[in-house]
Chains A and B, each alone.
Chain A
Amino acid sequence: MSGYLEGIIILICINSIAAMGVSLLTGFTGIFTLGHAGYMAIGAYTAAILTVRHHVPWLVAVLAAGTLAMIIAYMIGVPTLKLMGDYFAIASIGLGETIRLILENWQSFTRGARGFPGISNFTTLPVAAGFFLAMLILMRFLINGNYGRAFKACRDDFVAASLLGFKTAHYRVLSLAISGFYCGIAGGLMAGFLTYLQPVMFDMQKSTELTAVVVFGGLGSLSGSIIGTVVIGVVTEVFRPISQYRMLIYGAIMVIIMVARPEGIMGQHEIGPKLARSLFARKPANERDGNHG
């Protein structure tokens, strides 16, 4: 496999991990975020500093990256997740930008906007793919059980959820913490792939991209978020020669999808036997006039 193709696949694996995290938070728990690149940044710089300056083995560094991002997400989440809807989204913009600005201005620690070079290239294809599969399985398992149902309850109707005995605040914070972990891991792997970091790589554009792929793929569909990441990853590469049009097309796609098919590519379906059955099975007679509310 050519190095170029390998690079694309690695990048898609990394971005998918971040997308899974955002998918949990936005798609399954209903919390809209525009600042998750901040957690990727935390993860990336943590892994970079640990491996380059303290000679920590990369695996430990990446796990530490995820853990630190998770802890910070948790600390941010406790006070801010009381905010509903638009307010939290705006706060997340502020938080994401603040993280980036701190990284840019803390020159002594992060070398700021000049960039952080010299990271070893530890994110090979097996590493990226391995992490991707592991994180995917863990997320899938989590969603297909009591926690998944709890998150969805908080998303669909938090009043009803609390009246079914759920501590909605607790689940929201948990969802944010896990999404922070995933973005932190993705950031750590990103450091080992690019071998060079700049805070501007984790700006609002990156955050928007993370949320956009989850929306494209379908809110409430894990496989949809991954498909969305793949599509954007491929489109980005295909349009690289005309990269000034890339952003324009990307913005246009966002608008078009919201206008034409807001439920995204997969709606809330997952790839699997259930989907196949519903696509190919004939509807039984008594469901013929099912009214869509």
Chain B
Amino acid sequence: METLLQQVINGLSLGSVYALIAVGYSLVYSILLFSNFAHGGFLVIGGYICYYTLAAVGNNIWIASLLALLGAGVSAVVVERVAYKPIRERTNVTLYLLIASMGMSIVIENIFVVTVGGRFRALPPVIPTNPVNVFGMATTSAFDILSLVMAIVFLSGLQLFLSKTKWGLAIRAASYDLRTAGLMGVNVNKLISIVFFVAGLLAAVGGIFLSVRYTLYPQLGLITIKAFVAAVIGGLGSLPGAVVGSLILGLAEMLTAGFISSQMRDIVVFGLLVLTLLWRPTGLFGKHVAEKI
């Protein structure tokens, strides 16, 4: 029973980190209707900026995080402007964007391989990992609780942004129909940049926590595949779906690792993906775009 509670908390913590990544990815999907496979790159950029800033400013996690978030956000905007904007202005074939995003993901990963090397780097222990007793029933680490809390904070922030600000409203409108939003006077290019900035920022938060949890290396971005799976389970394009999907995935992973085996973790993840696609491809809350024939 104790292990169960333990794994549930672990699962929720992992899931909340996935949620930060999956939400950013779903946000981009809801506006541009394509899967940005380079999303993992933003995560890695955030991780590395944090790592190097920590080394430079003496382990002040606040400054390092701030820079990492800003840096990742800006990188995301740059990636969009350089790689995606020219394509989407010319054609509405999302396949080309998809492939370009694959290319960008490889580019970002390998820029780090080439410049700082592929070895694993541990972040200095700036995020507390001491054990914490939960209601006297189980022990978990402060890290897990913190990542859960941080995820809630940022996702609530996102929710506020989307529901209370002007640009948030524009983004919600654009997620229904980008073209019409543009015709209604929204500056589409600026909107897309803002969306990518937010996505990059959220990915960086996830990246920092993942770096602490798993150590930092250029291929860390591959974890984004799990965020994709989460987003699909929740429904591509749906933000609450991405959160729910991520929690489900985190729980599934941790419960499998705890009670079956660690190797089966990934198989369960992909198994869930395939099952979702077979049983209910639009996921739990996904949008289904019907075509007029």
Contacts and interface: CB of A to CB of B under 8 A. Distances in A.
Interface stretch (A41-49, A61-69, A93-101, A127-135): A93-101
Contacts of A86: 34-35, 94, 98, 236
B99 A254 contact: yes
Contacts of A32: 95, 98
B106 A94 contact: no
A83 B277 CA distance: 8
A91 B273 contact: yes
Contacts of B95: 32
Contacts of B293: 159
Given A86-B94, A102-B267, A251-B107, A259 B100 contact: yes
A254 B106 contact: yes
B87 A262 contact: yes
Contact of A255 (B34, B90, B100, B277): B100
B223 to A, nearest CB: 13
B285 interface: no
Interface string B263-293: 1101100110110011001000000000101
A254 B228 CA distance: 21
Nearest to A247: B110
Given A102-B267, A105-B267, A90 B232 contact: yes
Interface stretch (A174-182, A207-215, A232-240): A207-215
A244 interface: yes
A251 B106 contact: yes
Contacts of A91: 273-274, 277
B229 A94 contact: yes
A248 B99 contact: no
Given A80-B277, A252-B103, A254-B106, A245 B270 contact: no
Given A105-B263, A244-B114, A259-B83, A90 B102 contact: no
Instruction: Tell me whether chain B's interface is mostly helix, strand or loop, or mixed.
Output: helix
A231 interface: no
Given A97-B270, A247-B106, A253-B103, A87 B277 contact: yes
Given A80-B278, A212-B99, A258-B87, A248 B273 contact: no
User: Which bracket fits the contact residues of B?
Assistant: 35 or more
B96 A258 contact: yes
A244 B106 CA distance: 12
Interface residues of A, number: 39
A262 B86 CA distance: 11
A11 B221 CA distance: 30
Given A248-B114, A258-B96, A259-B86, A90 B267 contact: no
Contacts of B103: 212, 251-256, 258
A90 B83 contact: no
B35 A90 contact: yes
Interface in A182-240: 208, 211-212, 215
A89 interface: yes
Interface string B225-237: 1001100100010
B93 interface: yes
Nearest to A163: B293
B153 interface: no
A200 B159 CA distance: 41
A79 interface: yes
Nearest to B108: A251
Interface in B232-269: 232, 236, 263-264, 266-267
Given A86-B34, A89-B35, A250-B106, 20 more contacts: A32-B95, A80-B274, A82-B281, A97-B266, A97-B270, A98-B270, A101-B267, A212-B99, A247-B106, A247-B110, A248-B110, A251-B102, A254-B100, A255-B107, A256-B103, A258-B83, A259-B86, A259-B87, A259-B100, A262-B96
A-B pairs with lowest CB-CB distance, top 9: A254-B103, A251-B106, A255-B103, A248-B110, A258-B100, A251-B107, A94-B273, A94-B270, A98-B270
